[in-house]
C-alpha cells in the first residue's frame, strides 16, 4: 500500500526589490492623530520598488509582504518625508496676492513652475512680507505608517 502525500505549494507572491505594488497608506503623527490616508477616497497608491520615490528604510519595511497583509511601522523624519529644508522657505511681497488668493497664514497656495505645480503653505505675514514654506507638510516629523497591501502587480 502506497500513500500519496499531497504537498500544498503556494505561489503567493511577496514584495521584492523590483515589485510594483498597490497599497493603502495611512499616516499618523506622533500623537496618534491621522495625517492622511488613501482610504479616504478609496484610491490605493502605486509604488514601484527601487525607483527612489520612497526611502530605502520605507522600502525595507515592505519587503516580504504578501497580498492582504497589513503592517504598521514608524520612521524618523529623515526616512519619512525628510527634514525641513530652510532653502524651501521663500519670501514674497504681499502685492503678489489678491482677494481671490489671500495671503492668510495656513493657506496652501499652488504656484506654477517649469515642470508642474508646487504647493506652498503660508507660514507668516509680516507687514508686506509673506513667508511661504514649500517643504512637505510632514517634513521634519516622525511618521507612523499603516500599510495595507492591496495587490502585487
Percent of the chain's residues with pLDDT above 90: 76
| Grid coordinates belonging to 22 | 498597490
Model-wide pTM > 0.85: no
Q: Whose grid coordinates read 507572491?
A: 13
- pLDDT, tens digit, for every residue of 14-40? 999 999 999 999 999 989 898 899 999
Statement: residue 10 has pLDDT above 60: no
- pLDDT, tens digit, for every residue of 33-55? 988 999 999 999 999 999 999 99
As for how many domains the chain has, the answer is: 2
What domain range includes position 32?
A: 20-83+138-152
Q: What is the CATH number of the domain that holds 61?
A: 3.10.50.40
The answer to whether 90 and 121 are in contact (CB under 8 A) is no
Compute the radius of gyration of the chain from its Cα atoms. Answer: 22
128 part of a folded domain? yes
Query: Do 94 and 43 sit in the same domain of this protein?
Result: no
Statement: residue 12 has pLDDT above 90: no
Amino acid at each position: 500500500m502506497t500513500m500519496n502525500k499531497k504537498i500544498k505549494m503556494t505561489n503567493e507572491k511577496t514584495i521584492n526589490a523590483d515589485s510594483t505594488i498597490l497599497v493603502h497608506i495611512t499616516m499618523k503623527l506622533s500623537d496618534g492623530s491621522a495625517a492622511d490616508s488613501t482610504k479616504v477616497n478609496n484610491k490605493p497608491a502605486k509604488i514601484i520598488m527601487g525607483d527612489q520615490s520612497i526611502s530605502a528604510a520605507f522600502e525595507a519595511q515592505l519587503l516580504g509582504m504578501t497580498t492582504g497583509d497589513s503592517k504598521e511601522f514608524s520612521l524618523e523624519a529623515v526616512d519619512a518625508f525628510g527634514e525641513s529644508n530652510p532653502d524651501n522657505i521663500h519670501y514674497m511681497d504681499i502685492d503678489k496676492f489678491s482677494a481671490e488668493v489671500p495671503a492668510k497664514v495656513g493657506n496652501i497656495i499652488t504656484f506654477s513652475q517649469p515642470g508642474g505645480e508646487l504647493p506652498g503653505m503660508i507660514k507668516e505675514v509680516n507687514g508686506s512680507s509673506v513667508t511661504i514654506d514649500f517643504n512637505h507638510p510632514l517634513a521634519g516629523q516622525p511618521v507612523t505608517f499603516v500599510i495595507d497591501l492591496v495587490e502585487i502587480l
